[in-house]
Amino acid sequence: MGSDSTPATSAPTDCLGHADEECSLTIHRRDLLLTGTLAATAVAAGATTTVAQVDTSARPSAQADAGAAAYVAPSSEQKINVISLRDIERQAEKVLPPFGFHFIAGGSGDEWTLRENEAAFDRLVIEPNFLSGVKAPDPTTTILGAKLSMPVLASPMGMHGFAHSGKEAGTAKGTSAAGTLYVTPSVSNLSMEDIAAAVGGGARWFQIYFPEDPGYAREQLQRAKAAGYTAIVLTVDATSFGNRERAAKLGLKPPPHLGFGNMPKSPALAGQNPDLQKKDLTFDDVAFCQKESGLPVIVKGVLTPDLAAACVTHGCAGVWVSNHGGRQLDHSPATISVLPRIADAVGGKAPIIVDSGIRRGQDVFRAIGLGASVVGIGRPLLYGLALGGAQGVEAVFQRLRAELVMTMQLAGVASVDKITSRYVSATAKL
């Protein structure tokens, strides 16, 4: 999610990521300004009620400004009991300010893709192999040299200050405590260096939205390498801003005081900000990231076999299957529905990450069975952060890990590498 220290003129960015996501929660200043610009656009164009049905009279500008300035995110640091990742969404809604909750929870357009991300899992069944002799399954795995306690990592999500006063440091600490991998968003409240320090010795990657100015891109990439990040995640599905309407319909404004940690450091880059992104991305930009960082580059936002195959051809270290948690192009496919064809196109030549819609250990199992190496989760981590800080984030991971181990034991699978398509079947055409 965007920054509040950025200049007022800005272009779109991503949030959640998803994700979703799944949220990718990586938003930008324009995302934050959406509620205000909707009303302004309506006035300028002589529109009436056709703009997202925003009732500006119900919340005058001064009141919206005051509400934004008074935004207070939760600050609890405590253990939480996670029985279901869906339950904690409802619990988080009770403690988050309305703008923060709906910004995190919402998708784009009619939110069809947001819903489909989860619904598509319901069209897949697990076919167990009983009498397998499996007693204690091992959920650990490795990706690009990083050893993980489970095949689940933290998707890049921006502006964690919406969810908790500890911002990204809490999410990073909770992820590290769970023994898995944290992906730092370039659009974050804290700097990539501060987040790296919070991760400590844990595995970490850095996610980037490619800026218009290649010098700014170079600076971010080199800072990431210097801070000890071991891979770059280039998000390619947010070159234009998705119509995220849920928060806009509240007629509220985003808080102006959360801060942004990755503004340019070089005086030569004055005036640049992460909302000024390059729209016409090509594989030349992938090569730029590879060259300037000297690190493995993963492309995030892959939804077709053709793009996945092209990523492999161009030397990408990994393919990230994502629809941004349903926050970008509505009516794009659920990631689990395209995963098998993408896995076929990659042909084992690169690891595959998939996010969007993961809510159960059974979802993790089915995604691995259909070709993913690991999965990413987004929104549930922010809900855990809101409810318990770093300990809440760790609890979300631990719940998924416990459900995955249960699923593996009941299905008769001893290790992650043994989870294959033989255990997953479609109940309807994907």
Report the number of secondary-structure helices (H) and strands (E) in the chain.
13, 14
Task: State the catalytic residue, choosing from 160, 314, 324, 331.
Answer: 324
* Single-letter amino acid, residue 255: P
How remote is the C-alpha of 95 from its chain's centroid?
21
Listed in sequence order, the residues at least 6 apart from 2 whose beta carbon sits closer than 8 Å to its beta carbon are 10, 13, 15, 27, 28, 29, 30, 31, 32, 158, 159, 187, 254, 260, 274, 275
Contact between 372 and 155 under an 8 Å Cβ cutoff? The reply is: no
In degrees and rounded to multiples of 5, residue 227 shows phi and psi of -85, 0
Q: Is 130 exposed, middle or buried (0-12, 13-18, 19+ CB in 10 A)?
A: exposed
Listed in sequence order, the residues at least 6 apart from 370 whose beta carbon sits closer than 8 Å to its beta carbon are 124, 336, 339, 340, 343, 421, 424
Strands 232-235 and 297-302: parallel
Q: Max CA-CA distance within the chain?
A: 71
How remote is the C-alpha of 149 from its chain's centroid?
20
DSSP 8-state class, residue 277? B
The C-alpha atoms of residue 39 and residue 34 are separated, in whole angstroms, by 9
- SS3 state of residue 354: strand
* Single-letter amino acid, residue 4: D
Listed in sequence order, the residues at least 6 apart from 318 whose beta carbon sits closer than 8 Å to its beta carbon are 143, 144, 231, 296, 298, 299, 350, 351, 352, 353, 373
Neighbour count for residue 267 (Cβ, 10 Å): 6
Locate 334 and state its tokens: 């659920």
The C-alpha atoms of residue 147 and residue 52 are separated, in whole angstroms, by 46
The C-alpha atoms of residue 79 and residue 74 are separated, in whole angstroms, by 14
Which residues sit opposite 22 in a β-bridge? Answer: 20
- Compute the half-sphere exposure of residue 17: CA atoms within 13 Å on the CB side of its CA: 41
The C-alpha atoms of residue 352 and residue 373 are separated, in whole angstroms, by 5
Contact between 35 and 58 under an 8 Å Cβ cutoff? The reply is: no
324 as an active site residue: the answer is yes
Cite the active site residues: 324
